[in-house]
Amino acid sequence: MKIENTNAPIVELKDVEMIFDVPGGKLQAGRNLNLSLAAGEMVAVIGESGCGKSTLGKLVLGVQGPSAGTIHFSGQNIWSQGFKWTPELRLGVQVIHQDPFSSLNPVRTAYQTLEPILRHHKLTPNRKASRAKVLEVLTQVGLTPPEYFIDKYPFQLSGGQKQRVSIARSTLLKPKLIIADEPVSAVDSSLRLVILDLMKSYNQNQGTAFLYITHDLATANYFAPQGKLIVMYLGRMVETGQISSCINEPAHPYLQALLAAIPGSATHQPGGELPLRTLDMPSPLNPPSGCVFHPRCPHADTRCEHEVPELRPLANQPEHSVACHYGERLQIKSRA
């Protein structure tokens, strides 16, 4: 089932499979992945470690080729024979990495990190203009006064300040799409909302689309409550829809279990107990038959053990899709 939009997509994945040869067998990191991302859209991807979130991000970024299926940038199949990247296509998608400590060169100042981008793409006529542009960009990401930060090395900056430099780098060329892979996980909790607000401002003011990869439902809901959510489990999309709808009316037992740990959520358990048969995730090298979630699902029956559920729209909510045979019956209805 594909996440729909009304604009021409920047990136589109169609029936993508992603299989890695690893010691011990084949690892299926992505199965039947369909996604369309247009200008101005915000999509959050959530799930446990190892569910395929980062693999999806690499596929969208265009640095990982699919085992099957197609990936289109602005309507062009980027893995077809004879395709060549143009500067416009390649620079249209940028990334904000999870760890600003390792994504910045430790022997380059903020200016030395940003200035070569301007010079390489001939965006400024000389070094004086480049320095003025870097000062402007540092101001935009909240590093003020910029004169204080422009010649600082990464070891002289806090985690939040490093991540602001990373955001400045990713937005410098005004990309159409930014992939933010756990961008606040290495930032102090007191600064996480500040970083999220900064990214939201680029979406609202410049129409930049975001693919926000996270394990934290609370930050996903804060970042883009009206955006779209993709819930992944063992390489599969198991629930998709508007973030607020999915969080307030979850239909898949896996999303319901994730929400159970969040106070005030639709399925929160005061005692902290998760509605699961087991906390152990099956091996991705030997996924279960039928519904991959059935060994942990409290509602699973013999049908779930043998029949793979397709990602399909809920009967009364066509914009909300679930890969569960009993999604309509199990869906939590909003208390509002």
Residue ranges covered by each domain of the chain? 9-92+173-330, 104-172
Percent share of the chain, pLDDT over 90: 68
pLDDT of 152 above 90: yes
**Cα 249 off chain centre by:** 21
pLDDT of 271 reads: 67
pLDDT level of residue 335 (50, 70, 90 thresholds): low
Distance CA 113, CA 80 (A): 33
pLDDT of 7 above 80: no
> Tell me: the pLDDT tens digits for 9-55?
999 999 999 999 989 888 989 999 999 999 999 999 999 888 899 99
pLDDT of 2 above 70: no
Give me Rg for the CA atoms of the chain.
Answer: 21
Beta strands in the chain (DSSP E): 9-22, 25-38, 42-46, 68-73, 76-77, 93-96, 177-181, 209-213, 228-233, 236-242, 312-314, 317-322
> Tell me: the pLDDT tens digits for 90-122?
889 999 988 888 889 999 999 999 999 999 888
pLDDT of 264 above 80: no
pLDDT of 323 above 60: yes
Distance CA 175, CA 92 (A): 4
Average pLDDT, the chain: 90
Question: Tokens 């059935």 correspond to what residue?
Answer: 294
Segment 274-282 mean pLDDT = 85
Beta strands in 93-200 (DSSP E): 93-96, 177-181
Segment 151-163 mean pLDDT = 93
Segment 140-155 mean pLDDT = 95
Segment 142-165 mean pLDDT = 94
Query: Cβ of 83: how many Cβ atoms within 10 Å?
Result: 12
pLDDT level of residue 266 (50, 70, 90 thresholds): confident
pLDDT level of residue 56 (50, 70, 90 thresholds): very high
Segment 285-314 mean pLDDT = 95
Fold of 9-92+173-330: Rossmann fold (3.40.50)
pLDDT level of residue 279 (50, 70, 90 thresholds): confident
CB–CB of 295/225 below 8 Å?
Answer: no
pLDDT of 268 above 80: no
Residue 34 vs residue 273, higher pLDDT:
34
